[in-house]
Amino acid sequence: MAAASPEFDHGRDLDIVVYGATGFTGRLTIEYLAKHAPPGLTLGIGGRDAAKLEEIREHLYAGGRDVRVVVARSDDAASLRAMAARTRVVITTVGPYIRYGEPLVEACIAEGADYLDITGEPVFVDRILSVYGERAARAGVRVVSCCGFDSIPHDLGVYYTMRELQPKGRVSVEGFVQAGGGISGGTWHSAIGIMARLREDRAKARVSLAATNGRAVRGIKGRPHTEPEVGGWVLPFPSIDPAIVLRSARALDLYGPDFSYGHYVRVGSLPKAIGLGLSVGAVAALAQVEATRELLLRYKKPGEGPSEEVRRRGFFRVTFVSKTDDERMLSRVSGGEPGYTETSKMLAECALALVLDRARLPASAGVVTPAVAFGEVLVERLQAAGIRFEVVRRTKER
């Protein structure tokens, strides 16, 4: 691999800082980096609790990796800027991002550090794009959200699919998600926060981006149905993933002149589909009311996460069914437990790409998606790290 790019300010003493390292996902991320980053790459751990950070530092040092402690707080802009000024790349796992994320984005842009997060919060992503997009581009900084299970398997999976298809005309893609694993306290709190804002979010228009070169890019309105390619009932999946895929499609000519995308979750049988719909609807309704929302938040505390055994048994598969006027292709991205084991891996590999493979990355700056920021480099890194990208079947349509 190439050395760190000379584009970086060599006055910085850190290559990557994991902000939120005392949280569940943050700790997994720094442990992954400590194991897989080259010895000459300097790592830092950031957060507000110096004592807890020092415990992590000592644990990693005992394992043969030295890291540096950086004390910073989300409500202290000066400390965030000081952290960003020391490092080339800031990873943040501190959510809910709509509450804690924006000051760090602003600090990274001001100090010229690239920024990565694992949010799945549409309001936060839309705000950062609209408020900071031009500012980040002028600063030459990459601000890349959704660098975990939200939304790398979907975003890079469609990118990989388009690379294989090379569509010259109309192409439609549907993604079908299957996953098993646990949920952390931080993710639970973020999810409740998203549900609490559903009414407000629906009243707001999303940021609209024109596709390059007059191309057409649109979402497919989903409906519950049985899908033979994944063997069961599927439901439209209102996650942030379709919006990220469509942003990438608007930015990249690779997706062809006329691209559409739909997104689903596989639930198996019809009774399960009905039960899931009712459960999610009930939680969303309870999240609208402050008193019941507080009760939901008590269900899990931030920092808690699934056990190692639960994570060991976890898995994900995202299957893509693509159709052009004369061809049909089935492709897939798959891996282990998605929410934490693979999310921390994806996030860490994004950071390593920024530091070690910068000269090979697509020429991009601003508030960009993972596919736009990393492209083929990240596909290669994830494949080498054990996440599988494959074409399952490809047939000509009559």
Q: Which of 179-188, 238-247, 266-275 has the lowest mean pLDDT?
A: 179-188
Domains 14-148+342-383 and 152-338+387-396 share a fold: no
For the chain, which residues make up each domain, given as ranges?
A: 14-148+342-383, 152-338+387-396
- At 190, the pLDDT band (50, 70, 90 cuts) reads very low
- At 268, the pLDDT band (50, 70, 90 cuts) reads low
Cβ 345 vs Cβ 378: under 8 Å: no
Q: Indicate the pTM of the whole model.
A: 0.88
Fold of the domain built from segment(s) 152-338+387-396: Dihydrodipicolinate Reductase; domain 2 (3.30.360)
pLDDT tens track for 353-376: 999 999 999 999 999 999 999 999
Q: Is a pLDDT exceeding 80 seen at residue 206?
A: no
Q: What percentage of the chain carries pLDDT values higher than 70?
A: 80
pLDDT tens track for 66-108: 999 999 999 999 999 999 999 999 999 998 899 999 999 999 9
- At 271, the pLDDT band (50, 70, 90 cuts) reads low
pLDDT tens track for 376-398: 999 999 999 999 999 999 998 76
Q: Which two tokens stand for residue 131?
A: 């408020």
Select from 3.10.180.10, 3.40.50.720, 3.40.30.10, 3.40.50.300 the CATH code of 14-148+342-383. 3.40.50.720
Mean pLDDT of the chain: 86
Q: Which of 20-29, 308-317, 381-390 has the lowest mean pLDDT?
A: 308-317
What confidence score (pLDDT) does residue 339 get? 87
- At 151, the pLDDT band (50, 70, 90 cuts) reads very high
pLDDT tens track for 207-245: 445 678 889 999 998 888 999 999 988 988 888 899 999
